[in-house]
Copies of this chain bind each other. A is one copy, B any other.
């Protein structure tokens, strides 16, 4: 039997506190634990440095204790929201970290596409399920997605967050929302200029993001889809492609 102490979490980066730039927790001070590795390869991935094995050398195998120490160092031991993101953080053993943090008043949000389920989903405070639309070139396995929801046991605050680039993505988002009417929906205008993993200063198409946000606002309002929230990535507007903020 492997004890939680000895499991290793593959970490791409731990940074913060900074504000959450997306979705239901937008604006909230957060420490981010970005894990390395992903079972998806979305065409427009904005965190390729945490996905592509070419960057594997930058990833660190850390114990639960090491990750926890870094989270508490960054936050001076003052409880806050910890975002578990990636890559797909669901492929990492994060249950021990969540238990550890909860004992000290920290809260945990997981961002995942919903392709891999874990029993510790039920221990999360917030579960952000982000199924990937056609523009990603990925195909959604709704059965796997349903298992994720089932594993969460309805305990965390659970929302859908869907990236939308075009009409096909929008139709996908509507269908996903119709499939899970109980889940609040956040629509996120896509970013055609994701950060190249090795260039913090690459140009970013702010005008394009703004334009797609306006288009999406027009879509949901003309469509009378009044339950959907439309939120661009605030951190991209504020910091562009810079990592670690």
Give chain A's interface residues, CB within 8 Å of chain B: 16-19, 26-29, 75-76, 78-81, 186, 210, 213-214, 217, 220-221, 224-226, 228-232, 234, 237-238
What is the total number of copies of this protein in its complex? 2
Q: How far is the CA of A38 from the CA of B26 in the complex (A)?
A: 31
Q: How far is the CB of A2 from chain B (nearest CB, A)?
A: 33
Among residues of B, the one whose C-beta sits closest to the C-beta of A231 is B27
- Given A81-B226, A225-B29, A226-B81, is A18 in contact with B231 using a C-beta cutoff of 8 Å? no
Q: Can you give 13 A-B contacts (C-beta < 8 A)?
A: A17-B224, A26-B26, A27-B229, A27-B230, A28-B229, A29-B220, A29-B226, A78-B226, A79-B226, A81-B226, A210-B237, A217-B238, A231-B234
Q: Which of A214, A228, A234 has the most CB of B within 10 A?
A: A234
Dominant SS among interface residues on chain A? mixed
- Given A18-B217, A29-B220, A217-B18, is A75 in contact with B237 using a C-beta cutoff of 8 Å? no
Q: How far is the CA of A29 from the CA of B78 in the complex (A)?
A: 35
Q: How far is the CB of A11 from chain B (nearest CB, A)?
A: 21
Q: How far is the CB of A59 from chain B (nearest CB, A)?
A: 25
10 pairs of A and B residues whose beta carbons are closest in the complex: A27-B229, A80-B226, A27-B231, A17-B221, A29-B226, A78-B224, A27-B230, A28-B229, A19-B217, A19-B230
Q: How far is the CA of A184 from the CA of B19 in the complex (A)?
A: 15
Residues of B within 8 A of A238 (CB): 210, 213-214, 217
Residues of B within 8 A of A26 (CB): 26-27, 229, 231
Among residues of B, the one whose C-beta sits closest to the C-beta of A210 is B238
Q: How far is the CA of A79 from the CA of B224 in the complex (A)?
A: 9
Q: How far is the CB of A21 from chain B (nearest CB, A)?
A: 10
A221 touches B27 (CB 8 A): no
